Structure 1
Amino acid sequence: MSAMEVNVASQPRLTDEQLRTVVQGPGDVEWRYEMRRECQEILPGLFLGPFVASKSLETLQSLGITHIVCIRDAKEAFSVKPRFPGTFQYMTLDVEDNEEQNLIRLFPGAKDFINTAIANGGRVLVHCNGGISLSPSFVVMFVMQYYQLSWEDALHMVQNRRYCISPNGGFLTQIKEYEAIYKANIAVASYPQAHRQASRRKRTDDDDEDEENRLEDRKRPLVKEESEDMDPNAMEMS
C-alpha cells in the first residue's frame, strides 16, 4: 500500500460546510469555451484535460506536471500518444470509448499510478482525446474515493472545475456502481483486525471440528457385526 493510499483511507470526514466548499469549487472562475482545450486542477496535484493540453511542453512544465495518464481509444493510438516520454512518466490505457467499455476493471491501476505520483510529490495530468467523457470518468471515481463523496457530489465537483465534462451513459452507470464498491472496501479495511482474526479462528476451529467428525464417521462400521444382530436361538429347532 502506497503512502497516498494510506492518507486517502485515513482522510477525515469533511464537515457539511467543507463538503459544500469542495464540491462547489472556486466561485470566481468564469468558464470560456476555449478552456475546453486547457486542463484544470481538480484537486491538489491532479489535473484533467484534453489531449491537446498534453502536447505543450511549456504548459506542462509551468504546471509542474511530472506524470501523465494517457487514456485513448485503441483506434486513436497513432495520434493520441505520449509526446515527451523522456520528460514525464506515462501510463497509457487503451480502451474503447463506448458505453460497453468496462472502466471499473481498469481504474485500480490508474488509481495506484496517481496515488504513487502524488505521494512522492508529483503532479498528474489525466487526459483522453477531448477530455469530455473518458478521462473525466476516471477522475470522478478518483475524487469520489479521495473525499469519500457520493457519486453525484463527485461528478458535480469535477464539473464545477471543468464545466464541459459529460460522461456517456455507460460510464455514468459505472460511476454510480463505483460508489458502492469503494464504500465496501473502506468498510472492510476499517473492520477491527481483532474481529477479523477471531472470525478466521472460528472458521478454522469449525473446519477442524468438521474434519474430526468426518474422520470419526469413517471409523464407524458401515454394517453391524453379525454377533450384534443375530439371535443365538434363531436357528434352534422348536
Structure 2
Amino acid sequence: MSVSQITPKLYLSGLDAALNPSVVSSRNITLIVNASGLESMSYPHPDTVQVLPVPVQDKPHAALSHYFDLVAQQIDRNQSGKTLVHCTAGRSRSPSLIMAYLMRYEGATLRQAHELVLQQRPYIRPNAGFWRQLLAYERTLFGSNTLRMVSTSAGVLPEVVEHDKDTTAYCVNI
C-alpha cells in the first residue's frame, strides 16, 4: 500500500491506499482521481473529499486521453488541499494522467514528466496505448516530442529523442 508523492500537492497510489482513511486524512487529500475503472466505491471522508471518476480500463485501445484535460484542470483547481490520483496498482493509468497534468500545468515535457514520476515511483509502466496518447498530447501542447517508442525484448518502451538543448534540468513549480 505505497503512496508516492510526486509534487508537494500531488500523490500517486494504487486502490488500497486510496481507500485507507489514514492515508487520505494524514495527507490532507481533498480530491481523489479514481482511474481504477471501478465507478462505485466508498471512499473515506465522503463529506470532505471530492472524487473524480475516470472510467477507463488499462487496455492499449482505451481512450485515456479523453480525460487528460479534465483531470489536469481538476488537479490544478484543487486549492483547498492535495490530490491523490490512483488506479488499481498505480502503474499505468494514474501515472499517465499525472504526466499529462505535469505537461499541461507545470510546463514539463513528456520526458521530464516521466523522469519525475519514475523517480518517485520506479515501478510505473504505462501501456503502449497510453504512451501513444501521451506522445500525441505532448505534440499538441509543445509541437514536438521528447520521447519515442521503441520495441525492445521487454516490450515497447520510451526512448529519449536527442535535442540540442538539455532538458534534464526540470523542477516542478511549487
Instruction: Name the TM-score, length of structure 2 as normaliser.
Output: 0.75
Rounded Cα–Cα distance in structure 2 between residues aligned with 1:54 and 1:93: 14
Aligned residues: 142
Is the radius of gyration larger for structure 1 or structure 2? 1
Contact 2:31 2:82 in 1 (8 A): yes
Residue of structure 2 aligned with 1:49, choices 13, 32, 57: 13
Contact 2:30 2:80 in 1 (8 A): no
Which residue identity does 1:58 align to in structure 2? S
Which residue identity does 2:23 align to in structure 1? T
Residue of structure 2 aligned with 1:139, choices 98, 110, 119: 98
Report which stretch shifted further, 90-99 or 138-147: 138-147
Rounded Cα–Cα distance in structure 1 between residues aligned with 2:116 and 2:22: 28
- 1:72 pairs with 2:31: no
3-state SS of paired residue (2:36): strand
Which residue identity does 2:73 align to in structure 1? D
Which residue identity does 1:177 align to in structure 2? A
Which residue pairs with 2:146 in the alignment? none
- 1:151 pairs with 2:110: yes
Contact 2:76 2:105 in 1 (8 A): no
Rounded Cα–Cα distance in structure 2 between residues aligned with 1:136 and 1:50: 10
Contact 1:144 1:151 in 2 (8 A): yes
Rounded Cα–Cα distance in structure 2 between residues aligned with 1:82 and 1:142: 25
Q: How do 1:1-238 residues align onto structure 2 when only pairs under 5 Å count?
A: 37-73=1-37, 76-77=38-39, 81-84=41-44, 85-117=46-78, 120-183=79-142
| RMSD, aligned CA | 1.6
Deviation at 1:38, TM superposition (A): 1.2
| Identity in percent | 29
Change beyond 3 A, Cα 1:144–1:82: farther
Which residue identity does 1:110 align to in structure 2? V
Task: Give the structure with the higher percent helix.
Answer: 1
Q: Give ranges in structure 1 of 5+ residues lacking alignment.
A: 1-36, 185-238
Deviation at 1:77, TM superposition (A): 4.2
Moved over 4 A (4+): none
3-state SS of paired residue (1:163): coil
Change beyond 3 A, Cα 1:100–1:50: same
Rounded Cα–Cα distance in structure 2 between residues aligned with 1:60 and 1:133: 21
3-state SS of paired residue (2:12): strand
Q: Give ranges in structure 2 of 5+ residues lacking alignment.
A: 144-174
Which residue identity does 1:121 align to in structure 2? S
1:130-179 deviation digits (Å, cap 9, x = unpaired) = 10101110001111233322212211110000111110111111111111
Contact 1:82 1:90 in 2 (8 A): no
3-state SS of paired residue (1:42): strand
Rounded Cα–Cα distance in structure 1 between residues aligned with 2:140 and 2:8: 24
Instruction: Name the TM-score, length of structure 1 as normaliser.
Output: 0.56
